[in-house]
């Protein structure tokens, strides 16, 4: 057979197999990409990338802890594709595919196409990479640019060409402007060049190119110094870092090489050698000064430095270690190809099976989308929302803005952590001034009342009238409604309930009725509230019956004197003729057909509505 024809067929087969791996990787990264809400960091991404111009984004990033490139690209991306949750996260998934392609080429260039394919498959199955590819954050861009920079550096170091030199320069500059940890990958390249590049007369050219990368980064380095001067004075920025503990290291190990770390770790070590087989006998060749020492340094140097400085400068997060994941995938892929054909097939089947049936890295995100919908279901008019949920309020802002199709900055949303940071000892004075002319507000709370906030509100005359909850792991997220007690009473139902306040709100095809009840004494039964629409001749048009606040506030849990919020939505018939309609309310127990008497009648007239 013609050798060139054989090489062409092998290249086509490799390309076909890589395409199948890429399709699988894309499917894995898009699977349930919208299932969970944005979490704190993703909400922060949307805030930082708000713009509206790229210059605005760059200016905003000077007060953050990261370089601006990803956030500027996100601004451009959203300008073209919109800011939906799916589209915002899709950018990370696409960077993940770019990283996959770079890893394949690295493995194929320096070992073999089969090793490149194995490395790509390992990366496609890596849970930590899959998880971060489903988040609107810059980590997959960081990993992809690290892999591209390494790919073009190694190509240029082996055989200098203008194209690879330019690609190395551009990808390295982009890496440094994506994440500051990119400097560790550039450092690995410089160390590798000093050790391996021969003849020595080639070193000046490489040094000049490293210098060009550094010069291009100098303006951002000045920004980095300014950011670092305030980074550790603002816990709101670095609060997500982890300490150097055995539990942290176990978490990092699991995220990087899985719970089956014995197998993947052994394969990574085996990837440092070259093994060939003749007549079933293994022949070992150690050539560590070629790409294997580069991959080893790529893994070891960032891990060592991050852990080494973490006690003094906290930067350790499992997400940051994604920068070494491409190198680990290549070492594992090469180690797999160092096995003989039978062992290779068995181990590969085990790796794929374990990866598909276990999850090594997955962090459940708080349910901020559900909390947003819960608040919007019961809020009235322009009710303000005070948010005491640390930096997660950025994510909640995003979801509220999406649900209302409005700019969150224009909504009455107050970040109490930001106020605490900005106003410091004057926090409660500013909060008092803000609430002074308010009769009601909502508070989303996820804390421990360390500064006495929950005691401050009742002292200012506010009473908690509703409590809704959501869960994140074992933690309860509270959504509370606070109101000042009304000065006048609307009606009394039997000797059990007083209606203190009522509000009617027409929304599209429904009428929402908001009620505020007071328990005159502790009810022993679960009473139902019926809110209904009557025509001018007294005919029943539509109604909504149910336990107060959609079952969240059963009357059997009320105590004498309690104020409790209630809400009902009356669905309007599609063929409802124009006219004036009466809205009424009555209270009854399901086993007794006679409702509680209200001023000698069976129901109380809340008001009249002109519909439609």
pLDDT in tens, 559-576: 999 999 999 999 999 989
Does the pLDDT value for residue 3 go beyond 60?
A: no
Q: CATH number, domain at 564?
A: 2.70.50.60
The domain boundary residue, chosen from 320, 338, 357: 357
Confidence grade of residue 1 (pLDDT, cut at 50, 70, 90): very low
Say whether both 26 and 76 belong to one domain: yes
532 and 567 in a common domain? yes
Same domain, 229 and 89: yes
- Asked if 507 and 538 count as a contact pair (C-beta separation under 8 A), the reply is no
pLDDT at position 252 over 90: yes
User: Does 119 lie in the same domain as 249?
Assistant: yes
**33 is a domain residue:** yes
> Which pLDDT score, from 0 to 100, does residue 6 have?
52
In a shared domain, residues 373 and 341: no
Torsion, Cα of 402, 405, 408, 414 (10° steps): -80
Could you tell me which residues come within 8 angstroms of residue 145 by beta carbon, excluding any fewer than 6 positions away? 171, 174, 175, 178, 182
CA distance linking residue 365 with residue 376, whole number of Å: 20
> For residue 518, what are the contacts with CB-CB under 8 A and spacing of at least 6?
489, 497, 498, 500, 561, 562, 563, 564
Domain boundary among 357, 392, 411: 357
Q: Examine the domain organization and report whether 501 and 573 are in the same domain.
A: yes
What would the mean pLDDT of 3-12 be, rounded to a whole number? Answer: 70
- Choose between 196 and 336: higher pLDDT: 336
Do 242 and 154 sit in the same domain of this protein? yes
* Residue 202 domain flag: yes
pLDDT (average), residues 70-98: 97
Instruction: Look at residue 237 and tell me whether its pLDDT is greater than 80.
Output: no
Q: In 10 A of CB 314, how many CB atoms?
A: 17
Asked whether residue 463 falls in the same domain as residue 506, the answer is no
463 and 402 in a common domain: yes
Tell me the CB-side half-sphere exposure of residue 242, using CA atoms within 13 A: 17
Domain count, the chain: 3
The burial class, CB within 10 Å (0-12 / 13-18 / 19+), for 422 is: exposed
* Structural domain contains residue 363: no
List the one residue out of 178, 100, 130 whose CA is nearest residue 33: 130
Output the six-digit token pair for 358: 């276990």
Question: d(Cα 106, Cα 126) in Å, to the nearest integer?
Answer: 17
Helix, strand, or coil (residue 583): strand
Indicate whether 317 and 282 sit together in one domain: yes
Residue range 263-271: average pLDDT? 94
pLDDT at 139 over 80: yes
Does 279 have pLDDT greater than 70?
no
Ranges of beta strands (E only) in 157-251 are none
Return the pLDDT at 501: 96
Separation between Cα atoms, residue 256 and residue 264, nearest integer Å = 10
Cα–Cα distance for residue pair 430/482, rounded to 1 Å: 18
* Edge-to-edge order in the sheet of strand 491-493: 491-493, 497-507, 510-519, 563-571
More confident residue, 542 or 10: 542
State the Cα–Cα distance between residues 347 and 471, nearest whole angstrom. Answer: 40
Residue 9 within any structural domain of the chain: no
- 510 inside domain: yes
| Residue 7 counted as domain residue | no
Per-residue pLDDT at 200? 85
Judged by average pLDDT, the poorest of 118-127, 224-233, 529-538, 582-591 is 224-233
Is the pLDDT assigned to residue 289 strictly greater than 70? no
What does the pLDDT read at residue 385? 97
Q: Which residue has the tokens 């409005």?
A: 406
Residue 5 lies in a domain: no
Task: Look at 363 and 346; give whichever has higher pLDDT.
Answer: 346
Widest CA span of the chain, in angstroms?
104
Average pLDDT value over all residues in the chain: 93
CB 416 within 8 A of CB 236: no
pLDDT of res. 141: 98
Q: List all residues 6 or more positions away from 474 whose beta carbon is below 8 Å from its beta carbon.
A: none
**Per-residue pLDDT at 403 exceeds 70:** yes
Peptide bond into 119 cis (omega under 30): no
408 found inside a domain: yes
- Asked whether residue 503 falls in the same domain as residue 536, the answer is yes
Predicted confidence band of residue 425 (pLDDT cuts 50, 70, 90): very high
Give me the mean pLDDT over the 87-102 stretch: 98
Do 291 and 425 share a structural domain? no
What secondary structure, in 3-state letters, does 537-579 show?
CCCEEEEEEECHHHHCCCHHHCCCCCEEEEEEEEECCCCCCCE
pLDDT surpassing 80 at residue 231: no
Domain boundary among 323, 357, 391: 357
Q: Are 581 and 532 in contact (CB under 8 A)?
A: no
Domain containing residue 415? 368-483
Length of the chain: 612
**Is pLDDT at 198 greater than 90 in this prediction?**
no
């Amino acid at each position: 057979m013609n050798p060139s024809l054989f090489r062409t067929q092998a290249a086509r087969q490799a390309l076909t197999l890589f395409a199948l791996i890429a399709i699988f990787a894309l499917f894995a990264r898009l699977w349930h990409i919208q299932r969970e809400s944005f979490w704190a960091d993703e909400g922060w991404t949307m805030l930082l990338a708000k713009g509206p111009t790229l210059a605005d984004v760059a200016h905003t990033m000077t007060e953050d802890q990261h370089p601006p490139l990803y956030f500027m690209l996100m601004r451009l991306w959203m300008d073209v594709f919109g800011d939906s949750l799916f589209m915002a996260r899709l950018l990370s998934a696409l960077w993940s595919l770019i990283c996959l392609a770079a890893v394949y080429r690295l493995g194929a260039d320096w070992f073999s196409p089969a090793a490149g394919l194995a490395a790509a498959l390992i990366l496609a199955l890596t849970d930590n990479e899959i998880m971060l590819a489903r988040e609107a954050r810059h980590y997959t861009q960081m990993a992809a640019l690290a892999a591209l920079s390494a790919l073009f550096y190694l190509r240029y170091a082996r055989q200098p060409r203008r194209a690879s030199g330019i690609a190395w320069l551009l990808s390295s500059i982009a890496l440094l402007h994506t994440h500051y940890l990119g400097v560790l990958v550039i450092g690995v390249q410089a160390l590798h060049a000093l050790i391996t590049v021969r003849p020595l007369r080639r070193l000046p050219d490489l040094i000049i190119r490293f210098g060009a990368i550094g010069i291009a980064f100098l303006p951002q380095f000045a920004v980095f110094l300014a950011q670092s001067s305030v980074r550790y004075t603002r816990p709101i920025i670095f609060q997500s870092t982890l300490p150097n503990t055995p539990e942290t290291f176990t978490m990092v190990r699991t995220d990087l090489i899985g719970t089956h770390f014995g197998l993947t770790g052994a394969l990574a070590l085996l990837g440092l050698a070259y093994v060939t087989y003749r007549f079933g006998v293994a022949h070992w060749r150690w050539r560590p000064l070629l790409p294997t020492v580069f991959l080893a340094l790529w893994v070891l140097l960032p891990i060592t430095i991050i852990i080494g400085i973490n006690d003094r400068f906290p930067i350790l997060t499992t997400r940051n270690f994604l920068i070494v994941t491409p190198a680990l995938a290549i070492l594992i892929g090469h180690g797999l190809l160092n096995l003989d054909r039978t062992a290779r097939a068995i181990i590969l089947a085990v790796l794929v099976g374990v990866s598909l049936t276990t999850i090594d890295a997955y962090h459940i995100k708080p349910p901020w989308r559900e909390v947003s919908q819960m608040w919007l279901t019961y809020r009235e008019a322009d009710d303000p929302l005070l948010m005491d949920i640390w930096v997660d309020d950025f994510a909640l802002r995003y979801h509220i803005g999406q649900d209302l199709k409005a700019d969150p900055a224009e909504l009455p949303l107050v970040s109490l952590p930001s106020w605490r940071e900005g106003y410091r000892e004057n926090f409660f004075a500013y909060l008092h001034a803000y609430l002074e002319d308010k009769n009601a507000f909502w508070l989303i709370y996820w804390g421990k009342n360390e500064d006495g906030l929950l005691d401050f509100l009742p002292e200012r005359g506010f009473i908690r009238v509703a409590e809704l909850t959501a869960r994140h792991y074992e933690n309860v997220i509270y959504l509370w409604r606070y109101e000042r007690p009304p000065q006048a009473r609307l009606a009394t139902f039997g000797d059990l309930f007083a209606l203190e306040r009522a509000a009617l709100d027409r929304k599209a095809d429904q009428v929402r009725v908001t009620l505020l009840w007071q328990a005159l004494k502790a009810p022993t039964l679960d009473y139902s509230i019926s809110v209904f629409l009557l025509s001018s001749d007294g005919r029943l048009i539509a109604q909504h019956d149910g336990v107060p606040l959609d079952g969240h506030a059963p009357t059997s849990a009320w105590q004498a004197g309690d104020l409790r919020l209630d809400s009902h939505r009356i669905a309007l018939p599609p063929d409802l003729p124009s006219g004036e309609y009466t809205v009424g309310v009555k209270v009854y127990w399901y086993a007794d057909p006679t409702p509680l008497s209200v001023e000698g009648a069976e129901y109380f007239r809340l008001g009249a509505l002109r519909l439609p």
